[in-house]
Amino acid sequence: QIQLAESGGGLVQTGDSLTLTCSASSITFGTYVMGWFRQTPGKEHEYVAAISPKSIYIDLADFVKGRFTVSRDNAKNMMWLQMNNLTPEDTAVYYCAAATRPESKVWNEYVGWGQGTQVTVGS
Summarize pLDDT for 92-117 with one digit per residue, the tens: 999 999 999 888 899 999 999 999 99
Alpha-carbon distance values, 95 to 38, 101, 123 (Å): 6, 18, 23
- In sequence order, what are the beta bridge partners of 10? 119
At 41-94, the pLDDT tens digits run: 999 999 999 999 999 999 999 999 999 999 999 999 999 999 999 999 999 999
User: In the sheet where 18-24 sits, what is the strand order?
Assistant: 4-7, 18-24, 78-83, 68-73
Confidence of residue 27 (pLDDT cuts 50, 70, 90): confident
Of 79, 69, 78, give the one whose Cα is nearest residue 48: 69
For residues 35 and 110, the answer to whether their CB atoms sit within 8 Å is yes
